[in-house]
Amino acid sequence: MKSVCIVVSTPLILKFFLTDHVAALSRVYRVTCVTKCENPAWLRERGIEVPLFDVQIERQPSPLRDLRALWKLYRFFRENRFDVVHSVTPKGGLLAMTAAALAHVPVRIHTFTGQVWANRSGLQRTILKLLDTWLAAMATHILVDSESQRAFLLREGVVTAVKSRVLGHGSISGVDIERFRPNDEVRAEMRSRHAVPASALAFLYLGRLKRDKGVLDLAQAFLKFARDHKESCLLIVGPDEDRIEAEIRQTCAPCISQIRFAGYTDNPELWLAAADVHCLPSYREGFGTTIIEAAAAGLPAIGSRIYGITDAIDEGVTGLLHIPGDANDLAEKMRILAEDEELRRALGCAARERARLYYSKDTVTAELLEFYERVLGADRS
């Protein structure tokens, strides 16, 4: 049986994006996962018979710790003689692809899900881009989770057309169509619990609260929009990684009674059921998984016109796109959907159908399994 090692920087990536992939791969190959973890039995406790190996991979630059992690990965790969090492996340990919190349692992796959340097400039952009270019050079195969992101990487000279590809219609993991769906009972219960009027039009931001996710643009846009739409509501759900909730509150002081804050959630589907429109005004995005989750729940989306999001939203069919960083344009798109219920419903229905056709978790996982079979050959022994 061929052996596969999947490397990510944090177990959250495994939990939210890769669990179904790991389970499916483990039925065909001998799979091991590597990440920063305190509980090596974490996957097995969830019914997935895959061992976890702990390597402390830091998200932020830390030369000494990074060298230690690189050495530990190299030794692990040499000792286990994996047929495949597959990495996701920038730092995990940089260390894993380098260590796997040094250990002569024959198949080295990295999945790009967005570039941290895409909206940066100067020396920082140059260094981070060079690291991604090195990562890509060390890999034998590159997967990219959207066509527009792949086009960006090709233009920037980070990847080659021969080595890189997008599986299916993109997305790293797809969406559970049964979990993420319209649900009137959950909608009513969530709105009652969080004091959102049944008749209110609720916009939702779902994700990490970070400046480069455009959350402050959304706050400015909602302030403008709410002046003429006092029955509307903005739901902001996710961990405040950049500590900007206070800034959002200050910006939206005149309409703060129309905003609901919730931190990290294990149940995003509940918030999507409660909302009417999903907003992702990000400055950089590999694909925009929350947009597809919202689509499965029957929600149209408003997103910035950047690579990744332009794949997740079919403009004018499943949602609307706005000028990146332009709060006025974002507010205008919010107004359009608020004042045209028929359009809002049509976009939401088309979004759910598109999610069902192209982005179900079963479809996306099947595409990954087919890719592995092509790379490794039909002989799985």
Q: For 110-154, how does the pLDDT look when each residue is reduced to its tens digit (9 = 90+)? A: 999 999 999 899 999 999 999 999 999 999 999 999 999 999 999
Pairing of strands 84-88, 107-112: parallel
Per the CB < 8 A criterion, the answer to whether 261 and 245 are in contact is: yes
Whole-angstrom distance, CA of residue 81 vs CA of residue 41: 22
Model confidence at 380: pLDDT above 70? no
Mean pLDDT of the chain: 95
Q: Interior CA angle at 292 toward 10 and 314, to 5°?
A: 135
| pLDDT tens digits, one per residue of 7-29 | 999 888 888 899 999 999 999 99
Query: What's the pLDDT score for residue 378?
Result: 52
Give the chain's domains with CATH numbers.
3-174+361-376 (3.40.50.2000), 184-358 (3.40.50.2000)
Q: Using CB atoms within 10 A of its CB, is residue 264 exposed (0-12), middle (13-18) or buried (19+)?
A: exposed
- Rounded to the nearest angstrom, the gap between the alpha carbon of residue 109 and the centroid of all alpha carbons in its chain is 18
Output the pTM of the full model.
0.92
What's the average model confidence in pLDDT over 279-307? 96
